[in-house]
Amino acid sequence: MCLCEELCYTFTQKLAPALLNIQMTNRLLTALLIVCTLYSLTTFNSGCAQIGAPTGGKIDSLAPFLVRANPELKTINFKGNKITLNFNEYVEVADAQNNVLVSPLPKSNPSINYNLKTVTIRLRDTLEPNTTYAINFGNAIKDVNEGNVFQNFTYVFSTGNTIDSATLQGKLLLAETGLTDSTIVVALYRDADDSAVQKRRPNYLARIKSDGIFRFTNLPEDNFKIYALKDGDGNKFYSSKTELFAFHDTVIKATVNDTSQQLTLFAYSEEKGKDTKITPVLKPKPEKLLKISSKLSGKQDLLTSLELGFNNPLKVFDTARISLTDSNYNRIAGAVATLDSTAKKIIYTTVWKPGETYILIIPNDAVADSADNKLAKNDTLRFDAKNEADYGRVILRFKNYDQLKNPVLQLVAGDEIKYAFPLTGPEFVYKRLLPGEYSIRILNDDNKDGRWTPGNYSKKISPEKAITLPQKLGVRADWDNERDVALE
């Protein structure tokens, strides 16, 4: 891009939108064209002789900015119900319903419209006297051409003589994993009892950043009860035990220039959400042929049971006639076969010997479904157990280990807990981990039942807390995998 094109681009994209006087804009543009014409005559060989609007050029990466607000930002003794915001370029307001947050929380959301460079806000509620209001736009305001976002712009005004400046901040984590969820909002209740969060909307709401940090601004210096909620039904209060929820058991005071982050909330769901899928009323008819299948892929894991599946529920299951043997057809002592609750799965449990060959023999009439269908023929499954070399050996040394917290080590792959071990000391040694990459999670198991337990707000019981550590554990087969781990 030559100098003329650079000047034209800068004027049309950056300077002209900021000029609200059209006559002044035209005069400056005429002067710019004259300068470019003279410049091109003196640089004929430079390839910049053609005068015209630049084509292509740099992509606008700058967010729009506020030129003027009426009434002005931080206006005191605010009256009326209309606010206009003028920007330096054409803007739009995206998904105002979810992006725009008004504090204190109104009964009715304001009406927000945009046209060209102007955003207009009309307040629907009667404003409280001597109150500071803040309208946070989140990621709603963006320029029309490139979609650059004017992030977290907040319009603040007061119906009293002063602008409140107290703040309150902290961090929110998911109690079960120690991870964050930015779709949860934090709520403040003023002059409220413990049941207020279950009956009415809060006074103030704040969003959570991707790192879990939240911050309230322009608060009065007062005491608040603080909660967090993933509002599934949109009523803005805690109305379902399946919603993610967090509470703090003491009153919190908002103060001026509060920079601490000592406050941490832990969100949990007291009950798992119910499956809303519609299930057919009529049960499917059983297939005419009884078939068997195995989930075995490769060698049998030394740490899990052998599972066999059937296409129809079994009515007949004769364990005495089904045999699990070694390669010499000697029956394995202590092997236990059970039928699961669906009657469609047989689970074989035994102590598998590394590298051993096994044979499972199922006579065709040892099993039958409700229609007396049997297997078409005797079924024989021959398989090998994994070797010790198929697993990785792990040694973890924990710094800041605290037995009083009843820590449980959880190794997580994806969203699934693959292994869970109570930690009885600062060093953990295990010889049979399947190769792969695991997240390291530490659960403080308060009730010592080996699994995470949610909280109960009605009984003021906090949830058990877990933390997912930032480092990963990579396990290689036939390898000593050692790691020093710092606990918080």
Q: Where are the domains of the chain?
A: 3-46, 66-158, 166-267, 292-388, 391-486
**118-127, pLDDT tens digit by residue?**
999 999 989 9
d(C-alpha 310, C-alpha 316), whole Å? 12
Are the C-beta atoms of residues 438 and 418 closer than 8 Å to each other? yes
Bridge partners (DSSP) listed for residue 156: 134
Q: What is the pLDDT of residue 136?
A: 94
Whether 281 shows a pLDDT value over 60: the answer reads: no
Q: What is the pLDDT of residue 352?
A: 95
Whether 38 shows a pLDDT value over 60: the answer reads: no
Whether 196 shows a pLDDT value over 80: the answer reads: yes
Peptide bond into 202 cis (omega under 30): no
Q: What is the pLDDT of residue 471?
A: 87
pTM to 2 decimal places: 0.77
Whether 49 shows a pLDDT value over 50: the answer reads: no
DSSP 8-state class, residue 14: I
d(C-alpha 443, C-alpha 420), whole Å? 10
Q: What is the pLDDT of residue 24?
A: 54
Q: What is the pLDDT of residue 287?
A: 77
Q: What is the pLDDT of residue 273?
A: 67
Plot region of 448 (φ>0 → left; ψ -120 to 50 → alpha; else → beta): left
352-366: string of b/e by CB count within 10 Å (b at 16+)?
Answer: beeebebbbbbbeeb
166-267 and 391-486: identical CATH topology: yes
Domain topology for 66-158 = Immunoglobulin-like (2.60.40)
Q: Say if domain 166-267 classifies as CATH 2.60.40.10.
A: yes
Q: Which of residues 158 and 23 earns the better pLDDT score?
A: 158
d(C-alpha 13, C-alpha 143), whole Å? 12
Which among 48, 58, 1, 9 has a CA at the least distance from the CA of 32?
A: 9
pLDDT mean over 437-442: 96
CA 416, 417, 422 angle in degrees (round to 5)? 175
Confidence of residue 236 (pLDDT cuts 50, 70, 90): confident
Confidence of residue 39 (pLDDT cuts 50, 70, 90): low
pLDDT mean over 339-352: 92
d(C-alpha 141, C-alpha 151), whole Å? 7
Q: What is the pLDDT of residue 55?
A: 52
Q: Which of residues 32 and 398 earns the better pLDDT score?
A: 398
pLDDT mean over 29-57: 51
Q: What is the pLDDT of residue 61?
A: 80
Confidence of residue 437 (pLDDT cuts 50, 70, 90): very high
Whether 204 shows a pLDDT value over 80: the answer reads: yes
Q: What is the pLDDT of residue 295?
A: 80
Q: Residue 327 has which token pair?
A: 């390669």
d(C-alpha 432, C-alpha 477), whole Å? 9
CATH of span 292-388: 2.60.40.3710
Q: What is the pLDDT of residue 18?
A: 46
- Tokens 């009529």 correspond to what residue? 282
Are the C-beta atoms of residues 131 and 159 closer than 8 Å to each other? yes
Whether 5 shows a pLDDT value over 70: the answer reads: no
Whether 444 shows a pLDDT value over 50: the answer reads: yes
SS3 212: coil
Q: What is the pLDDT of residue 112?
A: 95
For domain 391-486, the CATH superfamily is Carboxypeptidase-like, regulatory domain (2.60.40.1120)
**134-153, pLDDT tens digit by residue?**
999 999 999 998 899 998 89
**283-333, pLDDT tens digit by residue?**
666 677 899 998 888 899 999 999 999 999 999 999 889 899 999 999 998
**458-488, pLDDT tens digit by residue?**
999 999 999 999 989 999 999 998 999 998 7
Q: What average pLDDT does the structure give for the chain?
A: 86
Question: pLDDT > 90: what percent of the chain?
Answer: 68
Question: pLDDT > 70: what percent of the chain?
Answer: 84
Q: What is the pLDDT of residue 56?
A: 55
pLDDT mean over 421-431: 95
Whether 109 shows a pLDDT value over 70: the answer reads: yes
pLDDT mean over 19-40: 53
